[in-house]
């Protein structure tokens, strides 16, 4: 009886999962393949698929099935598919069904309308034209928060959308630690005499050759992955065996390569999920923070490491003889680990990135609490850029208007980027302890040990557990701990810049 | 009151149209972009989207709205959006709701399972392994036919799926005319001494350059179209302003170019539909036959015409100096109009193509009527190939197993290809009478006059009318008339091969 009910729930959730992945392919196509005039009808199609998925999930039938199955689910093994699916679906349903369909529709509509306004405002350095749509998004987000009971702080509600179970005060505690321990690193580096000049021009064609060689060494296979150019890189896909990553190219630096490694990390997480979870809501990463830990791991802990470059630098040099002819691997290693406070978050280095996030986290809370008139947002932004990074913001385009998130109504999203950095270092300490010869593999271009470890300990579980439970299984603690990341940074920068070693 | 009901119907149909176009993008992606291991999950996603669209359309609510609106719709202008939408939706609903969901699901499942069996059977020249799945498909198709009242012949039901309103006896009358008047052309050409040898090797890269130049001259624009390579070319898209065409390349001949022109014709039809019809079931071609008339028109009546090549041949020669260095435009023109009976339908020339279709049309009816044991199908195929084309079939791979259609359960589809050829010539007689200087334009690489005529007289109406009504508006007769096509062929072949001129 319960088994039959479970099968029905699973069938309904499979249909919804198909719609969610369909929307994901529509989105991928929109950003990678669609001719520009297809935009208007694509917006309708994506809205329709999204609305049907939401209606089907929040239906009374699904709610009833979940209710009836709750007790039965608790009798199954905690990490079984049955128990996990019921537990996660119950939590999702509870949250999704609290928001009226009208409000949800208004939020999507407002975000869709705000996006082109933001694009124009950013282009014209004109915060004033963005202000009314930002205000509208913010008001809707406040109404959204009001749909839920607040235990502690209103920001908890939006944070939980991206990092289930995480509390604002917990993030604040972590970020305070970073302000105290990470921010000084940047000043110490500056005090040691700054940075080398940048390398010259990199041709695009050899960049594409190189990044594919790296991706294949990492575990990208042509039968289950795609890599395509796009304007704003992202990872996506239609399922565990259909992973799409995207990148973009610059001639001034190899940001495209690091972007590819970053998106590979996201893709690998989705690709190594247990196939038994396909067509369920468990077939994705446990949270955005954990997801970002995987992208940052491949981009930074692997891709900016000396063992990686010991293997790959000769090939890179061969492909870019003009740009890198007079480099050796040590100089190149310093160059890809350059520390330099800068205006733009997505271009920030490992040592300054989190500071960009802290600023946004604080401003988001302040906006939700009406701590200052919204007109004043650029000033608030600029003064924090000075406080945290010692930088003067020359215009709003390179300041408060730089990110897409607020135009899309995404508030509570930014912290997950920094949390991902921190988690990546926590996991890395565990991995390097368990795999003592992993770096030897890197020096020979082999990454299978790391890939397998991640699958076995993290990826295969998908979204069966809460982020805290998952971290506990991987690292032995459910708490996000910023100390390993700061330790890792100080150690690296000590070697490069001669700042003080970790205590 | 009726207006409100109409708005509700329109909203529901818009949602369904979004799902249909979503499925179309999933299909395009599957054939053009998807990494191979994505196949299994993609099949689920496409089945889910298709099932939801079908459920939503055949729902009692939609049926009730259509019923309530029927009288009101008849009071509106016949060609208004309102009247047309209600009329067409009523007809679609009536047909769709007569087929039980279970039967429909079994038909898709059986087709999906039969496809890989067909692929293997074709590869191994092994009809026997294909036989059971063909039988299953055929049995299901018979059960499908039983869902409807038969006025005249059972084949009418399946024919109507692809060519609404068309009757089997009408097709038979047309095809009898072709047997009498088209088949002899091929023999007359053979009697005049056969054909020139084929041209040498064409490199792929210059082919791609050339076909894009042609496509752009025809009306392909980068902001609303895509052209990509694929294994089995087709035209598709997400909407009026997002048209996707595909092609494939050969080094032995320029089949890829003619394929591109063919798919351009399909794409242009969809692209020139009145934008007011977007997100309705009227936003597509009126029938498969009419659609094929557009693809064959651009491929043959334009792309195999002397005025076209007078403009484009010098450029083609420039791009393929080795292959075409010693050609002049007359020799090239004869080469692209080669008449030669051959085994494979999709490679057949203008003079033999329809004969391949007649054979299939007759076999389909015989199979539905159990006129011979299905084991005997290859023999029946081969004996007709001898009768109609004078060709001995060396194996089933190049015979009865060559086409995908029967493995997908598509019976009744083939005739639309030949009907399209005939319609293209009917329309062409009208166009050349109304646009006396159109060929002058072709000689200067200008095709805007033709494009505009097609939009104004045919394309913009989408699926507002029945195929017969549409043909009446375009050509002044609702009947498909084979005489113009045979006239066109005889005239062309008289000039090239010296056979008798049309009477």
Q: Is A224 in Cβ contact with B37 (below 8 Å)?
A: yes
Distance from CA of A379 to the nearest CA of B (A): 40
Note whether B224 contacts A35, CB cutoff 8 Å. yes
On the 0-12 / 13-18 / 19+ scale of CB atoms within 10 A, A22 is buried
Q: Which of B18, B45, B223 sits opposite A35 (nearest CB)?
A: B223
Distance to chain B for A242, nearest Cα, Å:
5
Q: Do A224 and B35 touch (CB under 8 A)?
A: yes
- Regarding beta strands A242-247 and A235-239, do their DSSP bridges make them parallel or antiparallel, or are they unpaired? antiparallel
Nearest to A238 among B45, B49, B240 (CB): B45
CA distance B300 to B183: 19
Query: pLDDT band at residue A104, thresholds of 50, 70 and 90?
Result: confident
Q: Which residues of B touch A (CB under 8 A)?
A: 14-15, 18-19, 21-22, 25-26, 29, 33-38, 40-42, 44-45, 47-49, 52, 222-226, 238-243, 278-279
Mean pLDDT of chain A: 95
A211-220, A319-328, B107-116, B457-466: the lowest-pLDDT one: B107-116
pLDDT-based confidence at B114, cuts 50/70/90? Answer: confident
Q: Which among A15, A35, A47 has CB closest to B48? A: A15
Give the model's pLDDT for residue B195. 65
pLDDT, average across residues A8-15: 98
By C-alpha distance, the chain B residue nearest A51 is: B15
Using alpha carbons, list the distances in angstroms from residue B74 to A120, A246, B66, B321: 47, 52, 12, 62
Kindly state the average pLDDT of the residues B170-182. Answer: 96
**Interchain contact, B38 vs A222, CB within 8 Å:** no
**How far does B50 lie from chain A, in Å, by closest CA?**
11
What is the pLDDT confidence band of residue A199, given thresholds at 50, 70 and 90?
A: low
Distances (CA, A) of A359 to A155, A352, A394: 15, 12, 17
- Give the model's confidence band at A304: pLDDT under 50 very low, under 70 low, under 90 confident, else very high: very high
Distance CA B401, CA B345 (A): 12
What is the structure's pLDDT at A198? 67
Give A-chain residues touching B223 at CB under 8 angstroms.
Answer: 35-37
Q: Do residues B344 and B338 lie in contact, with contact meaning Cβ atoms separated by under 8 Å?
A: no
Mean pLDDT, residues A485-501? 93
CB contact under 8 A, A225 and B26: no
The predicted structure's pLDDT at residue A489:
96
Asked if B224's CB is within 8 angstroms of A41's CB, the reply is no
How high does pLDDT run on average in chain B?
95
Instruction: Give the number of other CB atoms < 10 A from CB of residue A296.
Output: 28
| Per-residue model confidence as pLDDT tens digits over B8-57 | 999 999 999 999 999 999 999 998 999 999 988 998 999 999 999 999 99
Question: C-alpha dihedral over A288, A293, A297, A298, to 10 degrees?
Answer: -20
Q: Pick the residue from chain A with its C-alpha nearest to B24.
A: A26
Q: What are the pLDDT digits (tens) for B53-94? A: 999 999 999 999 999 999 999 999 999 999 999 999 999 999
CATH 1.10.1370.30 fits B101-374+404-503, yes or no: yes
Cα gap A418→A362, rounded to integer Å: 13
Helices vs strands, H then E, count in chain B: 22, 3
Tokens 């009536």 sit at which residue? B94
Q: Mutating which of A38, A57, A270 best tests the B interface, going by the most B Cβ atoms within 10 A?
A: A38
By Cβ distance, the residue of B14, B52, B242 closest to A35 is: B242
Catalytic positions of B are: 263
Using a CB-CB distance cutoff of 8 angstroms, which residues of chain A are in contact with residue B42?
A: 238-239, 242
Say yes or no for a CB contact (<8 Å) between B239 and A21: no
- Please state, in angstroms and rounded to a whole number, the distance separating the CA atoms of residues B356 and B405: 14
Minimal-distance CA residue of chain A relative to B220 = A35
Element (H, E) at B379: helix B377-389
Determine, for residues B222 and A35 on separate chains, whether the beta-carbon distance falls below 8 Å: yes
Q: B35 and A240: CB-CB below 8 Å?
A: no
Question: Which of A26, A44, A222 faces B279 most closely, judged by CB atoms?
Answer: A44
CB-CB contact of A466 with A450 (8 Å): no
Q: Provide, as residue numbers in chain B, all residues whose Cβ is less than 8 Å from the Cβ of A29.
A: 25, 29, 238
Q: What is the mean pLDDT of residues B371-395?
A: 95
Nearest to A52 among B29, B47, B52 (CB): B52
**Average pLDDT in the B407-418 region?**
94
Residue positions counted in chain A: 503
When comparing pLDDT for B119 and B57, which is higher?
B57
Residue in chain A closest to B226 (alpha carbons) equals A35
pLDDT tens-place string over residues A73-102: 999 999 999 999 999 999 999 999 999 888
Split at pLDDT 50, 70, 90, the class of B1 is: confident
What is the SS3 assignment for A339? coil
Which residue of B41, B243, B267 is the best one to mutate when testing the A interface, meaning the one whose CB has the most A CBs within 10 A? B41
Task: Kindly state the average pLDDT of the residues B265-279.
Answer: 98
Residue B314 C-beta-side C-alpha neighbours within 13 Å: 6
Shortest Cα distance, chain B CAs vs residue A25, angstroms: 8
Of A22, A37, A241, the CB nearest to B45: A22
The answer to whether B25 contacts A21, with C-beta atoms less than 8 Å apart, is no
Q: Residue B347: which pLDDT band, with cuts at 50, 70 and 90?
A: confident
Task: Give the three-class secondary structure for A49.
Answer: helix
Mean of the pLDDT values across residues B209-227?
Answer: 98
- Strands (DSSP E) contained in A195-261 are 225-229, 235-239, 242-247
What is the per-residue pLDDT for B342? 92
Question: Best interface-test mutation with B: which of A12, A25, A30 has the largest number of B CBs within 10 A?
Answer: A25
- The per-residue pLDDT for range A259-271, each reduced to its tens digit, is 999 999 999 999 9
B-chain residue closest to A56, CA distance: B52
Domain boundaries, chain B: 1-97, 101-374+404-503
CB pairs under 8 A between A and B: 120
Give pLDDT tens digits for B284-315. 999 999 999 999 999 999 999 999 999 999 99
Termini Cα distance of chain B = 60
Residues in B closer than 8 angstroms to A45, CB to CB, are 18, 21-22, 25, 238
**C-alpha–C-alpha distance, residues B401 and A133, integer Å:** 60
**CB spacing of B239 vs A38 below 8 angstroms:** yes
Phi and psi for A161 in degrees, rounded to 5?
-60, -30
Query: End-to-end CA distance of chain A, in Å?
Result: 60
pLDDT of residue B194: 63
Whether residue A41 and residue B239 make contact (CB cut-off 8 A), yes or no, is yes
**Coil, helix or strand for A223?**
coil
Interface test with A, best of B44, B227, B283 (most A CBs within 10 A): B44
At B199 the pLDDT is 62
CA distance B226 to chain A (A): 7
Residue A110 is predicted with a pLDDT of 87
Per-residue pLDDT band at A200 (split at 50, 70, 90): confident
CB-nearest to B34 from A26, A40, A242 is A242
Residues of A with a known catalytic role: 263
Q: What does the block give as tokens for A331?
A: 């100089």
pLDDT of residue A448 exceeding 80: yes
Indicate the CATH number for domain A204-342+416-497: 1.10.1370.30
CA atoms within 13 A on the CB side of B157: 18
Query: Would the pLDDT of A429 be above 80?
Result: yes
Contact A18 B45 (CB under 8 A): yes
Nearest chain B Cα distance for residue A10, angstroms: 14
Indicate if the pLDDT at residue B244 is higher than 90.
yes
């Amino acid at each position: 009886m319960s088994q039959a009910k479970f099968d029905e729930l699973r069938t309904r959730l499979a249909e919804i999962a198909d719609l969610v992945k369909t929307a994901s392919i529509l989105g991928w196509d929109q950003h990678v393949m669609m001719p520009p005039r297809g935009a208007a009808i694509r917006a309708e199609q994506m809205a329709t698929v999204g609305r049907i998925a939401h209606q089907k999930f929040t239906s009374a039938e699904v709610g009833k099935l979940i209710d009836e199955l709750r007790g039965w689910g608790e009798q199954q093994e905690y990490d079984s598919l049955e128990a996990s699916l019921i537990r996660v679906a119950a939590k999702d349903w509870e949250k999704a069904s609290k928001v009226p369909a009208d409000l949800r529709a208004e939020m999507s509509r407002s975000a869709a309308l705000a996006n082109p306004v933001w694009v124009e405002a950013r282009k014209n350095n004109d915060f004033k034209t963005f202000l009314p749509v930002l205000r509208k998004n913010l008001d809707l987000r406040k109404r959204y928060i009001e749909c839920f009971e607040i235990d502690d702080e209103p920001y908890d509600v939006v944070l939980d959308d991206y990092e289930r179970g995480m509390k604002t005060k917990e993030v604040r505690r972590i970020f305070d630690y970073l302000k105290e321990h990470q921010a000084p690193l940047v000043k110490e580096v500056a005090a040691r005499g700054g940075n080398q000049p940048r390398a010259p021009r990199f041709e695009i064609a050899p960049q594409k050759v190189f990044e594919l060689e790296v991706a294949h060494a990492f575990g990208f296979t042509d039968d289950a992955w795609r890599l395509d150019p796009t304007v704003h890189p992202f990872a996506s896909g239609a399922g565990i065996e259909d992973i799409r990553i995207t990148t973009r190219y610059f001639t001034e630096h190899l940001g495209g390569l690091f972007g590819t490694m970053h998106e590979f990390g996201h893709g690998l997480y989705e690709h190594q999920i247990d196939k038994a979870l396909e067509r369920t809501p468990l077939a994705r990463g446990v949270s955005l923070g954990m997801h970002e830990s995987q992208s940052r791991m491949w981009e930074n802990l692997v891709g900016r490491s000396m063992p990686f470059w010991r293997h790959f630098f000769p090939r890179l040099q061969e492909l870019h003889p003009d740009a890198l002819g007079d480099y050796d691997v040590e100089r190149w290693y310093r160059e890809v680990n350059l520390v330099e406070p800068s205006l733009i978050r997505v271009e920030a280095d490992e040592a300054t990135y989190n500071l960009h996030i802290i600023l946004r986290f604080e401003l988001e809370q302040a906006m939700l609490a009406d701590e200052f008139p919204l007109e004043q947002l650029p000033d608030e932004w600029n003064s924090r850029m000075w406080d945290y990074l010692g930088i003067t913001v020359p215009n709003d385009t390179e300041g408060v208007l730089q990110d897409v998130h607020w135009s899309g109504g995404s508030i509570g999203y930014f912290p997950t980027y920094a949390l991902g950095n921190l988690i990546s270092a926590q996991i890395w300490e565990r991995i390097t302890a368990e795999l003592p010869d992993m770096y030897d593999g890197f020096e020979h271009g082999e990454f299978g040990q790391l890939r397998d470890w991640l699958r076995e300990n993290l990826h295969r579980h998908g979204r069966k557990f809460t982020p805290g439970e998952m971290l506990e299984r991987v690292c032995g603690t459910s708490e996000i701990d910023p100390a390993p990341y700061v330790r890792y940074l100080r150690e690296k920068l000590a070697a490069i810049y001669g700042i003080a070693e970790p205590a």
